[in-house]
Each structure stands twice: as structure tokens, then as C-alpha cells.
Amino acid sequence: QVQLQESGPGLVKPSETLSLTCTVSGDSINFYYWSWIRQPPGKGLEWIGSIYYGGDTHYKPSLKSRVTISVDTSKSQFSLRLSSVTAADTAIYYCARHGGVYGNAPFDYWGQGTLVTVYS
């Protein structure tokens, strides 16, 4: 059974960089795509970006200037960095697995999510 676990600071100050890591267990990180998805409290889901195990990345255009996603296959981990955060970046951050970035590529496994609060 594939398991994903997010980790990282739960509090970040405005203008600083949010950093999260997702650790994958139960299956190889290879041959899949991995995404970060967030959900502000009481609101809907927002896709942030994805990375292929080989390193190819895709980002939501409106966040692209602030987002970096990286992968470390040796540790079965992928990471998110979101710079210059504001209160609008307060959300539950999920990591998820999928098989592609077009066509039929559902998010079939999700982490439990981690709440990141931007506070001043």
C-alpha cells in the first residue's frame, strides 16, 4: 500500500519561504508523477505543481514565479518550496501521486496533509 507523508514547519513568517517534504513508502517513487496540492481552510483544492521522478516539472502559472519542486529518488522524497509567502498561502498542503500530466492521470494516492500557517 502506497503511503505519502508530508513534513515541515507548521508556521512560516510573511515574506519567508515555505518548505515541505513528502516521503513516499510502499512503492517506488520511480515512473510516477508527484504533485503538491493545497486547500485553504474552508475552501477548495488548488493544484500547485508536479514533478516526474526524472525531474521534469510543471507549475500552476499563477504560482510559477514562487514555486520550486524537487525530487530525491534516493530518499523517495520530493519537496516544495514556496517563496515570499503571505497570509493567502495559509492552507493544508497535500502531496499526491499520479501517472501523468494529461489525459487520464488521476491523483490516486494522497498524503494526510499538513497545515501551514503564515503568521506575523
Partner 1 sequence: SYDLTQPPSVSVSPGHTASITCSGDNLGNKFVCWYQQKPGQPPVLVIHEDAKRPSGIPERFSGSNSGNTATLTISGTQAMDEADYYCQAWDSSAGVFGGGTRLTVL
Name the residues that contact partner 1, by CB under 8 A. 35, 37, 44-47, 50, 58-62, 94, 100-108, 110-113
Least distance to partner 1, CB of residue 103, Å: 5
Find the helix or strand (DSSP H, E) in which 81 lies: strand 77-82
Least distance to partner 1, CB of residue 49, Å: 8
- Cα 112 from chain centroid (whole Å): 12
CA distance 116 to 48: 14
CA distance 42 to 45: 10
Residue with smaller CB distance to partner 1, 14 or 101:
101
Residue with smaller CB distance to partner 1, 44 or 74:
44
CA distance 7 to 23: 8
Least distance to partner 1, CB of residue 97, Å: 11
Residue with smaller CB distance to partner 1, 104 or 120:
104
